[in-house]
Amino acid sequence: MTQTDPDTTRDNRWHAMRIEDVFSTLATGEEGLSSAEADRRLSEYGTNDIREAERASPFDLFVSQFRNPLIYLLIVAAILSLGVGFVPGEEPHYAEAGFIGLIIGVNGLFGFVQDYQATRSIEALRELASPDATVLRDGRTQSTDANQLVPGDVVHLEQGDAVPADARIIDAEELRTNESALTGESTPVEKSDEAAEDDAPLAERRDMVYKNTTVVNGRGRAVVVRTGMDTEVGGIAAQLGEIDDRRTPFQSEVEHLGKQIGGLVVSLIVLVVVVQFLFTATEPVAILLVGITLAVAGVPEGLPAVVTFTLALGAREMVERNALVRRLPVVESLGSVDVIVTDKTGTVTENRMTVTRLYASGSVVHPSELGSRSVGTDVEGRRIAANGDRYTDPEIADVLRCGALCNNADRVDADEYRGDPTEIAIRRVADEAGFDPTEERIREIPFSSERKRMTVVVENGENGELTAYTKGAPEVVLDRCDAILADGDVRELTDETRDEILERTRSFAEDALRVLAFASKPVSDPSADEDEIEDGMVFLGLQGMLDPPRAGVEAAIADCRSAGVRTVLATGDNLATAAAVGEQIGLDPDGALEGGDVADRSDAELERTVEDVDVFARVTPDHKVRILSALQSNGHNVVMTGDGVNDAPALTQADVGVAMGQRGTDVARQASDMILQDDNFATIRDAIQEGRGIFENVRKFVNYLVSTNTGEVLVVFLGVLLGSVLFPEQFTGTSQALILTPVLILWINLIADTLPALALGADPHAAGLMDRPPRPAEEGVINTRVLASILSIAVLLALTGLGIFFYALDRTGSLLRAQSLLFTFIVVGELVRIQVIRSRYDQTLLSNPWLLGAIALSFLIHLAVLYTPLRDFFRVVPLALVDWGWIAVGFVVFLVLNVLVSRLNTRLFEPRES
C-alpha cells in the first residue's frame, strides 16, 4: 500500500472531500488496512493518545514549596548562624540554625501534602484504560485498543460507542452523535456520507465524526483521517501549552510582600552594621550577630506555613463540599472573583434532554404533575389522576403511550438509558408516569432527515389489534393527519385547529423547546405501503423538551448576584436556546450575542460589550478566550466553568478555572484549578463564600504576624543603637550583648506567634459574607488600614518593651534579667494583640476554641521556658513577683494605647478595610 505523509492528515480539509478522494489521499479503501501496514503507520504517526503536560514529580512538588523570598532570607540567616563557628573563639549557633530549619521544613511539608493529595485525587478521576474500537483489518472485523488506530483504518460505529478518532463517514444508517463535549451543542448531530461545504464550521460538518464524542443512535462506517494530537481534541489540548498559567493575585501579593520584607530587613541590617562599625566599638562578631538577629526578627517565619495551613483548611472544607482544589492559592482567589463565565451544557443544565411540556386536547400539562403524585393539575386547573397506565384524560395517556412505543431508546437500569437523547427524554417521561407498554412491535419505518418522522406498527397482546404510532416534526405529522383526539373523541382536524397547534408549536420553540408531534391510527395490514400506513392519522399531541437547568442553579446565581458576582453564559448552543436557558436561570437575555459578533468586534469594542451582555451563543474556544480576556482587561477577576474539551483553553486562561468532575472530560479537568466532583453550579457559590472567609482570616493573621515581627525589628534596631549609647560597656565589648538573641526571637515567632496564627486560620467566618460586594481586584491583604495598624502597633510594642528593658537593666544591672523581662512582655503583648484584631470582626475569644487553646498553650510553654531547666538553653532567668509587676504595668500601658490606636484607625479608614 502506498505510503502517506503524516502532514497530509493535519492539513487536508477532509469534510470537503469526496470519500473516493479521501481513500486515495490516505492510500486505503473500504477494505481497510493490513495489520502490517497498520503497524508501520503506528510507528510513523504514533499512538492515538492525547499527550498531557508533563506532571511534576513528588520531588519537584516538594522543592517548589521553598521558592519564596521569605524562605530565601531564612536560609541565609541559618547559614550565617552556622557560619559564626568559623570565627576564632566562637561556636556555631546550632539552636538558631535548627529552629530556622524546622520552620522551613514545616512550611514545605504543609504545601507538599496538599499538592500531592490533589494530584492523587485527579489521577483517580482519569480513565485508566483506553476504550476499544471495532476496526476492519486484514479483511475481517476485529476489536483493538483505540490508541492503536492509525489514519486509513476503517472503523465501525454503533449506538453507545465512543468515537475513537477523527474520521470521515463512509456510510451511515440513522447515525447521530453527541458532540457537546467538543462544540457545546446539546442536540445530537445527524451524520451522512455527503461532503460538507469547504467553509462549514465544525458543528455543521455532517460527514465527520470526532474523537471524544459518542454515538447516540444508528450505525455506520468511517475512515480514520486524524489521530492523537492531530485530532480536533488534540489541537485544543495543544493550545493549553501555549497559554501561560495566570498567577493568582494572592500569589503575587505574598511574593511581593516577601520581597518588601526582605528588602527592608537587608536595609536595616546594612544601616545598623554601618552605624555600629563607624560610631561604636562593637566587636565584628557582635555586629554579625545583630545582623542575624535582625534577619530573624524581620522575617515572619510562620507566615508561609500559616498561609499554607489556612488555605489547606479551606481546601479540605471545599472537598467536603465536593470541590477539589488543585492549587492552594486558588482557595483565596475565589473570594475575590466578581464574574463567573459559565458553559451551559452539563454545567448550568443537566446535559440531559427532558420533556418539560405536554400538549393535548388544547391544554398544556407539565410532566412533573404526572409522576410521583397520584393527582395533579394541568396549567388550566384541570385534574389529572394517574393509576398505572390509565388516566382520566385519555389524550395525555395516548401522547405518552405513543412516545413510549415509537422509540428505540433502551432502559439500562432505574435511571440509566441508552440511545438518542431525544428518545431517551420521551421514554423517561412515559416511564415516570407509570407506563409499561406490552405491545409487540411488528414493523418500524425509521426516521430520516428527508422524512422527518418515524412510525412503528404494534400489536396488542390482549386483543390482537394493530396500531400505527408516529412521531416527528409537527408540520410533517400534521400533514399526515385528518383527525384529532379531543376530549375523548376523535374529531375532524379543522384548519383552525391546525393553526392553533402550529401556534402552540411556535410558542414552545420560542422557549427553546425541541418539539415533536405524535399521532396514531388503527391498521389492518402491517406490510402495506409506507404512505398508506402513515396517511389519515389521528393527531394526539405535542411533547416539548430541552436540556433543563440543574436544580438550585437559579438560586445560586441569585446568591452570587447579591454578593456582587455577575454570571455570564457562554455556550456553543444556538441563540434561541441560550437566551431561553439564560432567562430561566435569572440572566438577562436581551442583547444576547453570537460568536460571530464576538469575532467581528475589536478588542476595545469587546471590552465595552462584555459589560452589558449576559448571554453569548455559538461561541468557539477562541471566542471564550476573547470574552475572558476582555473581562480581565476591564479589571475583573473571572471564574470560568466548563466540562467539555472545547472549554479547556478558557479554563486555563481564567483566574479560576472550574471543571466538572462527573461529566467533565479529562482535558478540561487537567486545564482547571478546581474540580466540582458533584457537577453542581451551587458548589461555586459555596466556594466563593469559603474564599471570602479565608481571605478575612488571612488578613487577620497577616496583620498579627507582620505587626509583631515589625515590632521585634524595631526592638532590636532601636535597642542596639540606644544600648550602644546608654550602656556602652555592655553593648560594645562582647558578642553576646543583644537586646534579644536570635533563639529567643525564633521561639517567640514559633510558639507565641505561629500557634495562635494557625488557630486563626480556623476562625469561624463572619456573618453576611455573601451580602457584601467582592473586594476590589487591586486591593491586597495589607490595605491602608491594615498597614496603619501594623506600623502603629509595632511602634507601641517597641517603645513599651524597650522602656521595660532599659528600666530593668538600669535597676538591676543584669542583661539576662532585662532580656527575660522583655522576652516575656513581647509574648504576653502579642497574645493580647490577637484578640484586639479579632474584635474588629465582632468575634469573641470563646467563638474559636482552637484559638483559646493555642493562646493558653503558648503561655504555658513560655512559663516552662522561664521556670524549668529549659531556661539555661534559652539563656533566660526566672522572673520574680516584682518582675511580673513591671510587666503588668507595661502591659496595661500597651493595651490602653493599642485600643486608642485601633479606635483612631476606625475613624480614619473605611470599616470594610479592617
Instruction: Give CA–CA dist 359/485, Å, rounded.
Output: 12
Coil, strand or helix at 562:
helix
Contact 542, 505 (CB under 8 A): yes
- Comparing CA positions, the residue from 405, 470, 465 lying closest to residue 435 is 405
Phi then psi for residue 26, to 5 deg, are: -90, 0
The C-alpha cell that represents 826 in the structure block: 513581647
Strands (E), 331-449: 339-342, 354-360, 363-365, 375-377, 383-387, 390-391, 410-413, 416-418, 440-445
The C-alpha cell that represents 792 in the structure block: 502603629
Instruction: Give CA–CA dist 302/705, Å, rounded.
Output: 8
- Comparing CA positions, the residue from 362, 422, 28, 377 lying closest to residue 217 is 422
The C-alpha cell that represents 307 in the structure block: 498561609
Coil, strand or helix at 162:
strand
The C-alpha cell that represents 361 in the structure block: 386536547
Contact 240, 51 (CB under 8 A): no
Instruction: Give CA–CA dist 532/71, Å, rounded.
Output: 85
Instruction: Give CA–CA dist 628/25, Å, rounded.
Output: 40
Please list, in sequence order, all residues whose beta carbon lies within 8 angstroms of the beta carbon of residue 705, skipping any fewer than 6 positions away.
300, 302, 303, 306, 753, 757
Instruction: Exactly one of 153, 166, 230, 343 is catalytic; name it.
Output: 343
Please list, in sequence order, all residues whose beta carbon lies within 8 angstroms of the beta carbon of residue 214, skipping any fewer than 6 positions away.
160, 161, 162, 163, 177, 178
Please list, in sequence order, all residues whose beta carbon lies within 8 angstroms of the beta carbon of residue 850, skipping any fewer than 6 positions away.
759, 762
Q: Whose grid coordinates read 495598624?
A: 789
The string of DSSP letters for 483-515 reads EEEETTEEEE--HHHHHHHHHHHHHHHHTT-EE
Contact 368, 551 (CB under 8 A): no
> What is the number of residues in the chain?
914
Instruction: Give CA–CA dist 371/341, Å, rounded.
Output: 35
Residue 222: C-alpha distances to residues 154, 188, 490, 872 (Å) = 6, 18, 47, 83
Instruction: Work out the end-to-end distance of the chain between its first and last CA atoms, rounded to an integer number of angstroms.
Output: 75
What is the helix (H) or strand (E) element at residue 851, kind and residue range?
helix 849-867
Instruction: Give CA–CA dist 545/425, Å, rounded.
Output: 7
Coil, strand or helix at 732:
helix
Instruction: Give CA–CA dist 144/153, Å, rounded.
Output: 11
Question: Is 482 among the catalytic positions?
Answer: no
SS3 content of the chain, % helix, strand, coil (to 5): 55, 15, 30
Instruction: Give CA–CA dist 163/215, Å, rounded.
Output: 7
CB atoms within 10 A of CB 17: 19
Coil, strand or helix at 791:
helix
Please list, in sequence order, all residues whose beta carbon lies within 8 angstroms of the beta carbon of residue 320, skipping any fewer than 6 positions away.
none
Exposed, middle or buried: residue 821 (CB in 10 Å: 0-12, 13-18, 19+)?
A: buried
Instruction: Give CA–CA dist 838/520, Å, rounded.
Output: 73
Residue 26: C-alpha distances to residues 47, 192, 585 (Å) = 17, 20, 48
The C-alpha cell that represents 568 in the structure block: 455570564
Instruction: Give CA–CA dist 454/870, Å, rounded.
Output: 89
Positions marked catalytic: 343
